[in-house]
Amino acid sequence: MRKLTSVLLSAALLFPIVSCSREEQSQTETAMASAVVETAVPSEATASQEEIVNERVEEILSGMTLEQKVHQMMFMSFRVPELSETMLSCLEEYNFGGFIIFGQNVVDLEQTMDLISEVQTANQNGGGIPMLIGIDQEGGGVTRLSYGTVGVGNMALAATGNPDEAYAMSYVHGSELEVLGINTNFAPVMDINNNPANPVIGIRSFSDDPAVVSEYGLEFINGLTASGIISTLKHFPGHGNTDVDSHTGFPCINSTYEELQQFELIPFQAAIDAGVDMIMTAHIQYPQIETGTYTSTSTGEEVHIPATMSHTILTDILRGDMGFEGIVVTDALEMDAISANFAPEDVICMTINAGADMLMIPFAYDDEGVQTVTDWTDMAVSLVESGRIEESRIDEAVRRILRVKINHGIIDDTYFEVTPEAVSNASAVVGQVGAPVEERIAYEALTLLQNNNNAFPLQLQEDDSVLVVFADTCASRIGTGELVRQNLIEQGVITEDTEFYVMANDAENAEECVSMALEATHVILVYRTYNAACLDPATADGFSSAAFDQIIEARHEAGLNVIFISCGLPYDAARFPDADAILLAYGSSPMSEVASDIDEQTTFSPNLPCALYSCFGVGEPGGRLPVNIPALDENYQYTDEVLFSSGN
């Protein structure tokens, strides 16, 4: 397992990785890959092969009871690291179609493998069809495996300017999932982040350009396919133009269908044309497309039917106009956009009738929650029995699920024992082979957006001092500064005697931060923007921006430079345009401290460490801006003026 205190320690990782040829750089991927695919899905079956698959689907379907068919449509999760007897009994009795792995399910590699084995075995003991085991392993900020390769995230991949890196990164993710027993990844995000104020997509998106999202998204799918993993596009028909998070609110987009066709739907159509197997819906209102309304159960107000429940969007558009024949899976139905506005019975009825094939039903965190899982499933059966849902609609959905499971060999994979050899093989892959890949890509993605006065990289002289200040928005990353200091000493870039200070800004120490900044020879400011409020010094999320303003102004008055590192959304480059150097990392991971016990450590994204190393001349930024960065007005709100154009 890759440990926190050992990452980037060797000269082989710190230096050659950014200077070797592209051929040499690809050796890691070549060693991992047994073949390179040219399409986003396995090669299209011949007519006779399709007939064989369809015959098998009909044979299996004809032997299923109504309950078994409905259960096959349920994607569920027990969000615990160890299954109780109640949970195991539920899996044996209900034979669900899919199980989702979350962070709460994961402790270490062997435990994860054992958990998945238990899930599949319990399902088999009840006579079930092998399950889709899914996970949100997008890379970067959305990863579930604490011990796996975190990756750099989608926006960083696009910043490399090389779509091959999307393939390389997703192949790493897929290879790690495959050896653990996971067969489905809820990735890639195909949303176009055309709204800088979007609080939930942001750097999870490749770009604000549909062509870029399409190109990099298809390569990401290719990498997953080559590693044996099913891809799931999200969030249809597009979550990039929202300023509300559907986990906590109910977003609304007023785009017309024609506008979506010219923008948001382009990446989805490209992947559909390539034959992708699964698409996840978005809990978003599109009143210009779906005009149906519903009386909110919490407010009593009329809300529009979201895409997840819209027959117009899922059947007429996705199936009819766009030609998608795979599995439509909902986003989690316990998210506030759904649970705070719709009655459970109506949620089930409307999603299935709209065209959803698999439902992400509410997840159980304990034995009490198991009852909710079974209640939802039983309710779905009752709705069919009462005629509110036609059994033909159920059959249609189950056919798609069975077809995907047959085509990917899942239906015949019934051996789930975790052997010592399997654990050993997995340990040699997970968190190991991906390290040089993600680190190389992190350097390629680093974008030096501005470099006035040759402020970057630092020109360290004997007796120089360095101060790294982390904003309150990224105080949880402050351990990264100490990690970098230790590794720079290890590599001889600085010495034990070098004055290297790391501090976090808080509500009480602005004056101290400015004073320290004036005393240091070199200053690096690290900021993390995760929503628009982070840019406004008057808000709880943005107060550190005022301290950074003071530091930049004070150092300039003293004739000194400042390097600014953005380790979240890149849009904060517009907030600090006066910084001498602006470096974009497109992501970071929490690291409050570098623990002394190496066994307690987990992996993290390389984006921020590589950004800090590059400030000292270790590795050269090679990225270009994958989104437009708008200028801010006097109230720190985004304007229509583009301050930094994509491609810079």
| Model confidence pLDDT, tens digit, residues 363-396 | 999 999 999 999 999 999 999 999 999 999 999 9
Q: Which of 339, 382, 389 is nearest to 361 (CA)?
A: 339
CA distance 540 to 542: 6
Asked if the model's pLDDT at residue 218 lies above 80, the reply is yes
Asked if the model's pLDDT at residue 15 lies above 60, the reply is no
Burial 88-97 (b: 16+ CB within 10 A, else e): bebbbbbbbb
Total Cβ atoms within 10 A of residue 117 = 16
Asked if the model's pLDDT at residue 280 lies above 90, the reply is yes
Domain 446-644 top-level CATH class: alpha beta
Residues in the chain: 648
Task: Over range 395-402, report the average pLDDT.
Answer: 98
Instruction: Give 45's pLDDT tier (boundaries 50, 70, 90).
Output: low
Choice among 41-45, 464-468, 553-557, 584-588 with the minimum mean pLDDT: 41-45
Sign of the dihedral through C-alpha 450, 452, 457, 463: negative
**pLDDT for the residue 199:** 75
The owner of tokens 């044309």 is 273
CA distance 301 to 31: 58
Q: Provide the CB-side half-sphere exposure for 204 (13 A, CA).
A: 25
The owner of tokens 């024609």 is 258
Task: Over range 612-631, report the average pLDDT.
Answer: 97
- Do residues 90 and 71 make contact, with C-beta atoms less than 8 angstroms apart? no
CB burial class (10 A; 0-12, 13-18, 19+) of residue 42? middle
- Tell me which of 394 and 41 has the higher pLDDT: 394
Structure tokens at 580: 């001498």
| Model confidence pLDDT, tens digit, residues 544-561 | 999 999 999 999 999 999
CA distance 305 to 283: 9
Strand pairing category for 522-527 and 563-566: parallel
CA distance 467 to 260: 47
CA distance 331 to 348: 13
Instruction: Give 648's pLDDT tier (boundaries 50, 70, 90).
Output: confident
- Do residues 526 and 469 make contact, with C-beta atoms less than 8 angstroms apart? yes
Q: Which of 91, 57, 100, 127 is nearest to 397 (CA)?
A: 57
CA distance 171 to 223: 4
Phi, psi for residue 120 in degrees, rounded to 5: -65, -40
**pLDDT for the residue 401:** 98
CA distance 501 to 505: 13
Taking 3-state DSSP, the helix, strand and coil percentages for the chain, each rounded to the nearest 5, stand at 45, 15, 45
Task: Over range 51-71, report the average pLDDT.
Answer: 96
Strand pairing category for 359-360 and 74-76: parallel
**3-state class (DSSP) for residue 63:** coil
Q: Which of 198, 218, 211, 312 is nearest to 264 (CA)?
A: 211
- Do residues 606 and 13 make contact, with C-beta atoms less than 8 angstroms apart? no
CA distance 435 to 376: 42
CA dihedral 541, 543, 548, 550 (to 10 degrees): 170
Tell me, what amino acid is at 56? Answer: R
Task: Over range 215-235, report the average pLDDT.
Answer: 97
List 465's β-bridge partners, or say none. Answer: 499
**pLDDT for the residue 200:** 81
- Do residues 111 and 418 make contact, with C-beta atoms less than 8 angstroms apart? no
Phi, psi for residue 26 in degrees, rounded to 5: -85, 0
**pLDDT for the residue 249:** 74
**pLDDT for the residue 14:** 38
Instruction: Give 246's pLDDT tier (boundaries 50, 70, 90).
Output: low
* pTM, 2 dp: 0.92
| Model confidence pLDDT, tens digit, residues 206-216 | 999 999 999 99
**pLDDT for the residue 244:** 65
Instruction: Give 5's pLDDT tier (boundaries 50, 70, 90).
Output: very low
Measured CA distances, 166 to 153, 445, 448 (Å):
9, 11, 21
Instruction: Give 239's pLDDT tier (boundaries 50, 70, 90).
Output: confident
Structure tokens at 87: 């949970």
Percentage of residues in the chain having pLDDT higher than 90: 86
Q: Which fold has domain 66-427?
A: TIM Barrel (3.20.20)
Q: List the domain boundaries for the chain.
A: 66-427, 446-644
Task: Over range 411-438, report the average pLDDT.
Answer: 94
